[in-house]
Amino acid sequence: MKIIVTGGVGFIGANFVYYELREHPEDAIVCYDALTYAGNLATLDAAKENPKFAFVRGDIADRAAVYALFEREQPDIVVNFAAESHVDRSIENPEIFLQTNIIGTSVLLDACRKYGIKRYHQVSTDEVYGDLPLDRPDLLFTEETPLHTSSPYSSSKAAADLFVLAYHRTYGLPVTISRCSNNYGPYHFPEKLIPLIISRALANEELPVYGKGENVRDWLHVKDHCSAIDLIVRKGKVGEVYNVGGHNERTNLEVVKTILKVLDKPESLIRFVSDRPGHDMRYAIDPTKIENELGWKPEYNFDTGIVQTIEWYLNNREWWEHIVSGEYTKYFEEMYANRLDS
């Protein structure tokens, strides 16, 4: 079987490439990625040694390039990770999110219609549901929760999900969607909370935390996410949405303090910054459907998973140090320097 993995150089996509090569060595994997700012091709150095792996550079919104890819590769399955994914960047520049996340998804769907496909899988996010109140820990996102987006990023992902479901209903395209909670683990670009805090704490630099750090996220180890997607693609029911969560709710401040404790760094590094516009308060996933229907269970809990993640960053400094020393430094200053509370 041949699988096209779009956005396969990114954080979750790359981890999925390695998961598939390891768990299904009989399958061929074609990674299609535009190599935007968060795409570090060195992430897939080990995969490039595998004869079942191939890399093609290209943009999912480039119809001619996508059609040429499908014509040449004739894939059985497409798993779409390709997306602009950082909420802060979507607030600063929404347009690229519309181009990649919506137009790009529609191009892939059209290619699947034109060339035929056994399964198209859309990797989405729990952010399409909006947020939950902090004082109602009993409330969780289910697959029936109405879409209620807060940011340009989540709006673009919700729109893409609706396109995917519309192509299933209108054209009979065999699709599935997964909506996950916040991921963590190896190869995470340093603009996201956990790798940002790890990299800056190691350098004894100030650690920006939005608001009072009270926002709650449900943390899912990326390897657990990959195993869930693999199950959905191979055994999930066509036309269905599956929520994937880790049962690991933590406030942002708790996450930061946990990292500092593991690294033996002082909490005095924490600097509270003015909050993100429209910042969602709490995300929490109910994964009952995927657990009951497909037998999926997360293997990692946050307390052990975060320690392993920190160890990975300590052992793979060459992967991320050149990132934080380059163009990303300019971006960090633009995003956080003027938000530090006096």
**Dist CA 52 CA 68 (whole Å):** 20
**Dist CA 19 CA 58 (whole Å):** 22
DSSP string covering 118-136: SEEEEEEEGGGG----TT-
Tell me the catalytic residues.
126-127, 153
In terms of Cβ atoms closer than 10 Å to its own Cβ (0-12, 13-18, 19+), residue 172 is: exposed
Beta strand 207-210 with 175-180 is unpaired
Question: At which residue do the structure tokens 């995927």 appear?
Answer: 290
Residue type at position 15: N
**Dist CA 11 CA 22 (whole Å):** 17
Phi then psi dihedrals of residue 173, to 5 deg: -65, 130
Task: For residue 272, list its beta bridge partners.
Answer: 209
